[in-house]
Structure formats: C-alpha cells, structure tokens
Amino acid sequence: MTQTPTLSRRSQSSTPSQPRTSRRRGTDARAGYTFLLPWLLGFIALTVGPMISSLYLSFTNYNLFDAPKWIGLDNYATLFQDERFLQSVGVTLSYVVFGTPLKLAAALAIAMLLNSKRKGQGFYRSAFYAPSLIGASVSIAIVWKAMFGDSGPVDEGLSFFGIDLGGWVGNPSMTMPMMILLTVWQFGAPMVIFLAGLKQIPADLYEAASMDGAGPVRKFFNITWPMLSPVIFFNLLMETIHAFQIFASAYIISNGEGGPAGSTLFYTLYLYLRGFSDFRMGYASAMAWLLVIVVGIITLIFFKTSKSWVHYSGDSK
C-alpha cells in the first residue's frame, strides 16, 4: 500500500462531498451524544440533582421525615456557635496540614528510589503501591485499629524499646498521629504519578549537572523539583482535596462516633452523624456546602500561587 492512492482519493472526493461531510459531522455529533447520554443522565440524576436539592435543604430545617421548613441562613449561622462543628474543623485541618505533606514527601522519596534501575524493580513498585489499593477498605481500618490497640503490635514493639505509650486507639492525643500514619502509608497513588513525572525528566540534564560538579542535593533542587513541579502541584491539589474528605477509616476506628474525646471527629464524620443520627439533614447539607466552598477557595489559592513555583516546559521563566 502506498500513500498516493489514499491521498488522491481524499483529494478527489473532497470537493463534491462538501455538504455530505457537514451532514456526517451532524450525525457524528448525534452519535456522540447518544453514547454520552447514559453518563449525562446519571450525572444529572445522581450528581447535579442531589447537589441542587442539598443546596435547597441547607436553608431548611429538615428531619428526613417531615417536609423541609425554610429557615434561611440559620443553619449556617448556628454552625459557628456549635462547639463540635468547630472541633471537627480543627481535627480535619490538622489532618490535612500534617498528613498531606508527609504523604507527598513519602511518595516522592519512594518514587525517586524506585526510579533508578535495579533488580526486582517491578516487585518493589507493586509492593509499595498495594497499600493504596486496599487502603480505603474497611478491613484495613479494622486491622489498623487492632495494631494500635492496647497490647497490639505497635504498643508491644514500642515497649520493647522502652517507649511506653500504651494503646493509641483510646488515647485522644495519639489518634491523630495514628490517622496520619495510616494516610502516609497509603502513598501509592501519588507515588505512581511522581514516578511517571520523574521518567519525563531528560537524563542529559543530570549528566550536564554532574559534569558541572553538582551534588545530589543540588540536582534535586535545581533539576528534579522544578521539572517535576507540575506533577507536584497536581498531587498536592488532589491529595489535599482527598484529605478533606476522609471518612471511612475515621468511621471505623472511632466506632462511628468520632471518639475518643472527639479526637477523630472529622468534618465528614460529623456531617454524617448530624444528618443520619440526629436527623438534622438541613444542618448536614449546610456543612456539605461549606466544605464545597472552602475546598473551592483552597483550590483557587493553589492555582493562584502555583504561578510562582510551577514550571511548565515552554514557559519563558
């Protein structure tokens, strides 16, 4: 097969079939929409619809059974006088602020280790990725709880070294470190993305730097970090949003109550309890919308500040 006949056929038919192509484009579009339809219907019925109704409910007093009563901004106003709400904000923020950077640091460090060629690389990559595959599951939260419980492996292990912290699960000041460890351990997803990013960095940059006598630290800060910055930005954004939404593991570890002493009362957990334990669905909806707004603002701030540190190839800077 040569290219010439194809070309000639295309050029031959192009002039007479001009109207036919546009008609075909029309049918293509229709076909496209047809295939899009199931998703679109699902999106409208299962995402947009509930979001609108939850926005409406956030201005009402709704107990799940009786018709919602319009109360305007009352829910939003009472939020800030609710001590448990403020506690849940504090708990969630400390989780996001400490957990996310640690998780990303772990992901980047391991990705860099796995980037170099060595034996059994495939095995290590899978092994490090595995925890994040099963990480969101209920069973891991249960295992985690058992591990950090009284005379669990962690308690026993630490006592062996003379550190006597007792069980972490029942100790209000140790549950947050435990939750952060759990999320850091699940660094697999950002790690894979970092790995892909690292592969994109041209090797000759490092070679050139070596010739100029740059050490590993220098190479990291002058080559890896700036070249990787779009990937770092992406991971930071995704993991931050993700951290705000932590629910399942907190629910399991605290027996669905946010204990001990409210130390695992994460935002979404309190939202859930408000809605389904206290029958305050209007209040829970207000909380949900506040979360949407706050995450939106944080995303915006990330994008605004990213200009100063994220470098895309082809940028003049």
Partner 1 sequence: MINRRNFLTTVALGTASAAFLSACGQSSSSGKAGSAENPVTITYTWWGNDDRAERTRKAIALFESKNPDVKVNGNFTDFAGYWQKRATEAAGGGLPDVMQWDLSYLRDYGQRNQLLDLGTVKINTDAFDKSLLPSGQIRGKTYGIPTSTNAFAVYYDPAKLKAMGIAEPDGTWNYKEFNSFLAEVGQKGNGTLFGGTDYTGVWWMFNIWLRQNNIQAFTDEGKLGFSKDDLKKWWNTTAQLRGTPAIVGEDKTTQLLPKSPFGSNVTATEVTWDNFMAGYLGDSGAKELKLVPVPSDNSDNLGLFLKPSMLMVASAKTKYKDAAARFIDFMVNDPEVGQIFKTSRGVPASKTQRDGTTFEGTDKLVVDYEKSIEKYLKDAPEPPIVGFGTLESSFKRVSSDLNYGKLTIDGAADAWFKEAEDLIKQNA
Residue 121: partners with Cβ closer than 8 Å, 6 or more residues away? 114
Handedness of CA 233, 234, 237, 243 (dihedral sign): negative
C-beta closer to partner 1: residue 181 or 192: 181
Task: Assess contact for 244 and 96: CB atoms under 8 A.
Answer: yes
- Residue 113 Cβ vs partner 1, minimum distance, rounded to whole Å: 36
- Which positions touch partner 1 (CB under 8 A)? 24, 27-28, 30-31, 34, 37-38, 61, 63-66, 83, 149-150, 166-167, 169-172, 255-257, 259-262, 272, 275-281
- Residue 255 Cβ vs partner 1, minimum distance, rounded to whole Å: 5
- Residue 149 Cβ vs partner 1, minimum distance, rounded to whole Å: 5
- Residue 187 Cβ vs partner 1, minimum distance, rounded to whole Å: 27
C-beta closer to partner 1: residue 188 or 275: 275
| DSSP 3-state of 288 | helix
Residue 44: partners with Cβ closer than 8 Å, 6 or more residues away? none
C-beta closer to partner 1: residue 101 or 256: 256
C-beta closer to partner 1: residue 101 or 149: 149
Gap between the Cα atoms of 304 and 310, Å rounded = 11
Q: Where are the beta strands (DSSP E) in 45-189?
A: 60-61, 69-70
C-beta closer to partner 1: residue 157 or 216: 157
Task: Assess contact for 78 and 248: CB atoms under 8 A.
Answer: no
- Residue 170 Cβ vs partner 1, minimum distance, rounded to whole Å: 3
